[in-house]
Structure 1
Amino acid sequence: MLDNHQKNIATFIHLSTFTRFIIPFGNFIGPIVLWMANKEKSEFVDNHGKQAINFQMSILLYALIMGILTVPFFIFNLISSFDFIDIDLFDGIHFNISEPSPLLYIGGGLGVLAVLGFILELVFIVIASLKARDGEPYHYPLTIAFLK
């Protein structure tokens, strides 16, 4: 039987991921500290702690992949918009704003995906917190099980 203390600890494990807005890497530090201190006391807390940490590690991996894909498109777009060979000495370097490159659309699309991913991450954390508060198990979607 779950008591309120176990439910509260599991809820705070999920909510502690929001400390990243105050402390760098707080989304890892908060859940890991709470989980390590309480994992032997309850299987419920242990499961929710693993879920929160796995989700944050998965989000970090997805963000790195998204960044690796987005940065080259942005750089290639910048490089392609310069006139490197300009005979007219009085004009200097030109930016071609009238014709955006298709690379800009790809990079922008990946940027929109990143913003949607961030919003979904916040929603999933709130849902997991509410499930923990109610004493129900929760499995984050698209999570890689680093900790089993």
Structure 2
Amino acid sequence: MTETVTKHERNLSALIHASTFSKFFIPFGNFIVPLVLWTANKKEYEFVDHNGKQALNFQISLLLYSIILGLISIPFFFGFLPNIFDFEHFGFLRLNNFNNLNIHFDSDDFRFGTWLLPIGITGLLQGALFVVNIVYTILATIRTNDGQTFEYPITIKFIK
């Protein structure tokens, strides 16, 4: 594929990868801008088609991983707020005696180590995803501008 790649194809492919940084200026720009560039040129250039799929699959995969990490941290976040269930306002106090179940949250059960460690780990993983996104997008931009094919790591192939 790299022998017949023109300068225009290489520049367009590099632009698709670099356009994922538009998320810092436009909400969901990391999906919208590469998608527009890719769909406008995918039938004309095979190299652009391959790189557009790679960029979009990588961005969708990172979004999915980020959502999963956020969902994992939600129970630990509520552990940080143990007194939310002690208010009479929401009727949670009456739940304490429902079918003789003891649903009492004691603030002594929620020490810093209990909720801080999982939230800290998921926060570090979110930061790692951010760094992976920056580093591999720059690598993809450079490699495709040189005419090489690039495969992102940890990518789920949503678009084939």
TM range (shorter): 0.7 to 0.9
Counterpart in 1 of 2:63? 60
> Separation in 2 of the partners of 1:114 and 1:50?
23
User: Any idea what the Cα deviations from partners look like across 1:20-70, whole Å, max 9, x if unmatched?
Assistant: 111100000010000001101111100000000000110111011011001
Counterpart in 2 of 1:143? 155
Counterpart in 1 of 2:74? 71
Structure 1 residues without counterparts, runs of 5 or longer: 86-94
Runs of 4+ in 1 over 4 A off after TM superposition: none
Task: State TM-score, norm by structure 1.
Answer: 0.86
Q: Percent identity?
A: 43
Deviation at 1:113, TM superposition (A): 1.1
Counterpart in 1 of 2:101? none
1:24 is aligned, of 22, 27, 44, to 27
User: Does the aligned pair in 2 maintain the 1:77–1:101 contact within 8 Å?
Assistant: no
Count of aligned positions? 137
> Separation in 1 of the partners of 2:140 and 2:9?
14
Deviation at 1:101, TM superposition (A): 3.6
What's the secondary structure of 1:17's corresponding residue? helix
* Higher normalized helix content (fraction of residues): 2
Counterpart in 2 of 1:106? 118
Q: Does 1:35 align with 2:38?
A: yes
> Separation in 2 of the partners of 1:123 and 1:2?
24
| Letter in structure 2 aligned against 1:53 | L
Counterpart in 2 of 1:44? 47
Q: Does 1:128 align with 2:140?
A: yes
User: Does the aligned pair in 2 maintain the 1:8–1:133 contact within 8 Å?
Assistant: yes
Structure 2 residues without counterparts, runs of 5 or longer: 88-106
Task: State TM-score, norm by structure 2.
Answer: 0.79
Counterpart in 1 of 2:95? none
